[in-house]
Structure 1
Amino acid sequence: MLVNADGKVFVGKRIDNREGDWWQMPQGGVDKGEDLRAAVLRELWEETGVKGDHVSLISQSKEELLYDLPDHLMGKLWGGKYRGQRQTWFLARFEGGDGDIDLNAHRPPEFCEWQWLDPELLPEMIVPFKKRVYRTVLDEFRPLI
């Protein structure tokens, strides 16, 4: 979860939206042998163009959060290898300016649009099968935002 000085959360609209007009926070996988914090900074750069010197990592979720794909997406996403995701979330403070965000920093881009969003609106912008995870992340990090 990337937040700015105004307490707003970065969300991006995925280029490959299949299920509607859904947005999400940056996220991604951890490479084999990669430190979690290094993975966070790499994924932030890949998805938003934000460099590590514009970010302070504030907190890590207390436990891993899980979600399963809905039945109609099973076997269609991620080459059919996975039925969901296990995620560790981080709260990061963005210390740059909006000009430091570049959705095209990495090819192919994952997002076609982005915005700073009031955290309380976050669960309503997210694809339904991730809402529980987003509410849990928001509840845990809200006091630190």
Structure 2
Amino acid sequence: MSPDLPYRPNVGICLFNAAGLVFAGRAFANPHGWPDPEIVAPGADWILPQGGIDAGEDIESAARRELFEETGVRSADLVAITDDWWPYDFPVRGAPSHKLFPFRGQTQRWAAFRFTGAEAEITVTAEHTHEPAEFAEWRWTRLAELPLTGPLHRRPTYARVAERFAVLAR
């Protein structure tokens, strides 16, 4: 990836349930058309919610918006936000028509939430929003498993997330 390209400001979300497990969604193999810079492959396709930060939006607001868009969840208490930005590079450059084409990767702040609702609130179909669905399915999983089951280019970030939010996990 070209070092001259900027990173896209982004927020990542860890949604913990009462048992200390974290929400993970299985990403579609190629949701935005080929080539997509966010490559996932079978066995490396469990991801955490994340998304771009809009101009003028603070981290918590962006995290809550993305959490709702991708999972339907509104019943969540903010527990923590990382202090620093964590960048990652895309493994390939997307097509010029792709929204991520102008960026070399994303730089993220991470927010942890405790889910306070009923599981029926969680939906990954995106029927509740104008955005396309991000996940084919979802599950509660151990946070420590994500560096082993996420896309290869996100695994170092997921390892940092697991370390940073370990106190919230079981």
Corresponding position: 1:8 with 2:14: no
Question: What is the CA RMSD across the aligned residues, in angstroms?
Answer: 1.5
Unaligned runs of 5+ in 1: none
Maintained 8 Å contact 1:75/1:83: no
Q: d(CA) in 2 for partners of 1:34 and 1:67?
A: 21
Query: 1:52-131, aligned counterparts within 5 Å?
Result: 54-70=75-91, 73-76=92-95, 78-104=99-125, 105-106=128-129, 107-131=131-155
Q: 1:56-111 CA deviation, whole Å, 9 max, x = no partner?
A: 010011211010112xx124453421111000001110111110101122242111
Q: CA deviation at 1:144?
A: 2.9
Q: d(CA) in 2 for partners of 1:95 and 1:114?
A: 17
Q: d(CA) in 2 for partners of 1:40 and 1:24?
A: 15
In the superposition, the TM-score normalised over structure 2's length comes to 0.78
Q: d(CA) in 2 for partners of 1:108 and 1:27?
A: 14
Aligned pairs, number: 141
Match of 1:138 in 2: 162
Maintained 8 Å contact 2:49/2:70: yes
Of 45, 50, 61, 2:68 maps to: 45
Of 7, 20, 34, 2:57 maps to: 34
Q: d(CA) in 2 for partners of 1:79 and 1:40?
A: 19
Maintained 8 Å contact 1:11/1:24: yes
SS for the counterpart of 1:124 is: helix
Maintained 8 Å contact 2:79/2:113: yes
- Larger relative helix fraction: 1
Unaligned runs of 5+ in 2: 1-13, 31-38
SS for the counterpart of 1:88 is: strand
Which aligned runs of 4 or more in structure 1 are off by greater than 2 angstroms?
Answer: 15-19, 75-79, 104-107
Report % sequence identity. 37
SS for the counterpart of 1:102 is: coil
Maintained 8 Å contact 2:144/2:159: no
